[in-house]
């Protein structure tokens, strides 16, 4: 009680001013239609601003749920496309369709651990065997190569990131079809290196680099990045710097692609190696 009295004693002038100001505004608004209208509009404007701020805050906290739903829908649509391609191939057996030569099953997952500043970087995903994930599934972010799953438990998976010096991928230049080996040199997280492209081939900065599909893990034609720099080395091949499409410092939701015919392909190839 004493604190309340001290508060009124200390701020009595301010409190009296606010009360008188409120009375004055009330008399002004009630006695004049113009001021009454302006006051109501002002109050409504302030209320609308507060409601808008609350709405934006609520929308921000719903972003994670929205992103997860989009990732699931994306995986579902990819599966529907694969099924449509299979139906089309069965209906028209004379048509050769390179896009649907390998059939993939698509999933979505969230990245719960990630690194970019080591020489051997890995991704941890929030799904595992219980969600039908398995080793050798392609990890795709923003429709671009991100890595490959190397191990699973019941509820989690670990993927080797493209930003790993042990990662190797068959890649080609979209404009001319020449392919080589893509790897990461352990330097910038925004760039990888494409080797084994002969120097007699015309290579232009800005050309798209994509997957060949030779590995039986990644779908053919999946974007990796664009050519950034071209270096003529002492050998017969270029050393090409590729600006990666996927931003590994922003990875959150990814898609997983499992080749349903991978084992059959690899078993047949092993017989002749």
Write down the domain spans for the chain.
Answer: 2-61, 105-270
Percent of the chain beyond pLDDT 90?
51
Does the pLDDT value for residue 71 go beyond 70?
no
Q: What's the pLDDT tens digit per position in 167-209?
A: 999 999 999 999 999 999 999 999 999 999 999 999 999 999 9
Q: What pLDDT score does 223 carry?
A: 95
Q: Which of 67-71, 147-151, 169-173 has the lowest mean pLDDT?
A: 67-71
R_g over Cα of the chain: 30
Specify the CATH number of the domain 105-270: 2.40.10.340
Q: What pLDDT score does 234 carry?
A: 76
Average pLDDT for 89-111 = 59
């Amino acid at each position: 009680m004493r604190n309340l009295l001290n508060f009124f004693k200390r701020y009595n002038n301010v409190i009296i001013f606010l009360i008188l100001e409120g009375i004055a505004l009330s008399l002004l608004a009630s006695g004049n239609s113009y001021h009454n209208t302006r006051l109501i509009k002002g109050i409504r404007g302030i209320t609308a601003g507060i409601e808008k701020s609350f709405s934006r805050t609520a929308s921000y906290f719903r972003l994670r749920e929205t992103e997860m739903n989009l990732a699931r829908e994306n995986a579902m649509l990819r599966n529907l496309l694969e099924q449509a391609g299979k139906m089309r191939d069965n209906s028209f057996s004379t048509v050769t369709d390179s896009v649907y030569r390998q059939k993939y099953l698509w999933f979505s997952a969230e990245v719960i651990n990630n690194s970019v500043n080591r020489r051997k970087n890995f991704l941890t995903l929030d799904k595992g065997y219980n969600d039908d994930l398995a080793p050798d599934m392609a990890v795709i972010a923003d429709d671009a190569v991100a890595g490959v799953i190397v191990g699973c438990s019941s509820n989690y998976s670990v993927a080797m990131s493209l930003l790993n010096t042990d990662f190797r991928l068959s890649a080609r230049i979209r404009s001319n079809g020449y392919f080589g080996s893509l790897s990461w040199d352990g330097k910038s997280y925004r760039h990888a290196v494409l080797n084994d492209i002969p120097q007699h081939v015309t290579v232009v900065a800005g050309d798209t680099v994509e997957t060949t599909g030779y590995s039986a893990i990644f779908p053919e034609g999946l974007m990796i990045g664009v050519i950034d720099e071209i270096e003529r080395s002492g050998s017969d091949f270029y050393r090409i710097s590729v600006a990666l499409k996927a931003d590994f410092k922003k990875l959150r939701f990814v898609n997983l692609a499992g080749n349903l015919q991978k084992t059959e392909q690899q078993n047949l190839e092993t017989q002749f190696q």
